[in-house]
Amino acid sequence: MENYLFTSESVSEGHPDKVCDRISDAIVDLYLSHDPTARVAVETLSTTNRVILAGEVRGPDTITPELLVETARSAVKDIGYEQDGFHWENMDVKCFIHAQSADIAQGVDATEDKDEGAGDQGIMFGYACTETEALMPAAIHYAHGILQSLSVARRSGDANILGPDAKSQVTLRYENGIPVGATAIVVSTQHVEGVSQADVRDLVYPHVRKALPEQWMCDDAFFYVNPTGRFVVGGPDGDTGLTGRKIIVDTYGGAAPHGGGAFSGKDPTKVDRSAAYAARYLAKNVVAAELAERCTIQLSYAIGVAKPLSVYVNTHGTGRVDESRLSALLQELVDLSPRGIRTHLGLNRPIYARTSSYGHFGRAPESDGGFSWERTDLVPDLRSGLV
């Protein structure tokens, strides 16, 4: 179809699942800050005034259960939870993190005659398109932008009637395959007791307008704010949270495939995370080089095997070069083994807590190596290599 409606959603850093993603990634950062070669696979569960940590790690003994609990509390404090049903200081935190399986380590570790293998089997996708300056699908890009703006206002005190938990949903109208405006927008945001639905709507409205391009705002009748009328109880007190339950929010909002694996709580030897970053990096560079208007890349791996089993490139009929040539050149430019990806993108650093909300993609590369997969430094080599 050339003319259609498409919808994506986002959730804030205070959403129960995102609280868990943040804690898990804060623990990844903790281990990598002590040892860049640490192995981490940590899951978090949250509910009313309770957090449970579980998973497998390989790292320095200086990281004690007490330090892990302290890290969880700090993450929740930074998000802003100081509520009766969920408070960073008095919540009950249980730690069940233990040593990594020797069987897994044996398959992944490098030896004299074997390069480091993938930490698991799996398929990973990357995507880029020309719908936004960030080369991201428009609906998820603007859904993130609405909540990021509200988060900044809440943290600064300009929106102190709001709580940390929020969701957004943006429906866009496409004409001839191009997004041209919003037809419906939903924002549900936690608020303090005694605030009316109209008050919340008036506060939210300018943030939505600011996040959207000029003239893209939907009709007022299709702008929904807290449709149930009340959202006081939120976060893990209102709903149980789990690490890795918002993978579509984390990636492309449903506009592109997702391989299935979550990112948060995993060190970069896990290709669920690092190879998905690499696939986005490759796809974004293809589009940035103006070799296609849309690009999907799939990578596949086997546990313990270094090189990808397949590198699939699809430019959806918008490509200006043969896709098989493009696949071959991308593999020449970037070593897509787990070690190669980590080296090329500099992933063995404590840069992951910041990825846990508002998407892992479409963010600006940062000076300390954060969001390195958003660089477009392959563009010159792609253009020259395909002449």
CA dihedral (365, 371, 374, 378) in degrees, to 10, reads 90
pTM: 0.95
Predicted local distance difference test score (pLDDT) of residue 251: 98
The CATH T-level fold of domain 4-11+137-233 is GMP Synthetase; Chain A, domain 3 (3.30.300)
The CATH architecture of the domain made up of 122-130+268-385 is 2-Layer Sandwich (3.30)
| Residues near 198 by beta carbon (within 8 Å), at least 6 away in sequence | none
Asked if residue 325 belongs to a known ligand binding site, the reply is: no
Residue type, 52: I
Report whether 169 belongs to an annotated binding site. no
Q: Is 165 annotated as a binding residue?
A: yes
* Residue 114 known to bind ligand: no
For the chain, domain boundaries: 4-11+137-233, 122-130+268-385
Q: Say whether 166 counts as a known binding-site residue.
A: yes
Query: Between β-strands 310-314 and 92-99, what pairing exists: parallel, antiparallel or unpaired?
Result: unpaired
Q: Is 17 flagged in the annotation as binding? A: yes
246 assigned binding-site residue: yes
DSSP-derived letter for residue 222 is G
Instruction: Say if residue 307 carries a ligand binding annotation.
Output: no
The enclosing H or E element of 382 equals helix 379-385
193 is in an annotated binding site: no
Minimal CA–CA distance to 123: which of 285, 286, 281, 311? 311
245 annotated as a binding-site residue: yes
Q: Are strands 86-87 and 122-129 parallel, antiparallel or unpaired?
A: unpaired
CA distance 264 to 243: 7
Residue 174 neighbours by CB distance under 10 Å: 18
Predicted pLDDT at 118: 80
CA–CA dist 152, 187 (Å, integer): 16
**What pLDDT score was predicted for residue 108?**
63
106 is in an annotated binding site: no
pLDDT confidence of residue 110 = 57
Instruction: Tell whether residue 18 is among the known ligand binding residues.
Output: no
Amino acid identity of 174? Y
pLDDT tens, residue order, the chain (387 aa): 799 999 999 999 999 999 999 999 999 999 999 999 999 999 999 999 999 999 999 999 999 999 999 999 999 999 999 999 999 999 999 999 999 876 665 556 655 545 677 877 899 999 999 999 999 999 999 999 999 999 999 999 999 999 999 999 999 999 999 999 999 999 999 999 999 999 999 999 999 999 999 999 999 999 999 999 999 999 999 999 999 999 999 999 999 999 989 999 999 999 999 999 999 999 999 999 999 999 999 999 998 888 999 999 999 999 999 999 999 999 999 999 999 999 999 999 999 999 999 999 999 999 999 999 999 999 999 999 886
User: Closest Cα to residue 176, out of 2, 293, 1, 4?
Assistant: 2
- 83 annotated as a binding-site residue: no
Q: Is 96 known as a binding-site position? A: no
Which residues neighbour 241 within 8 Å (Cβ) at sequence distance 6 or greater? 15, 16, 17, 18, 19, 20, 44, 45, 46, 47, 235
Answer yes or no: is 15 a known binding residue. Answer: yes
pLDDT at 94: 98
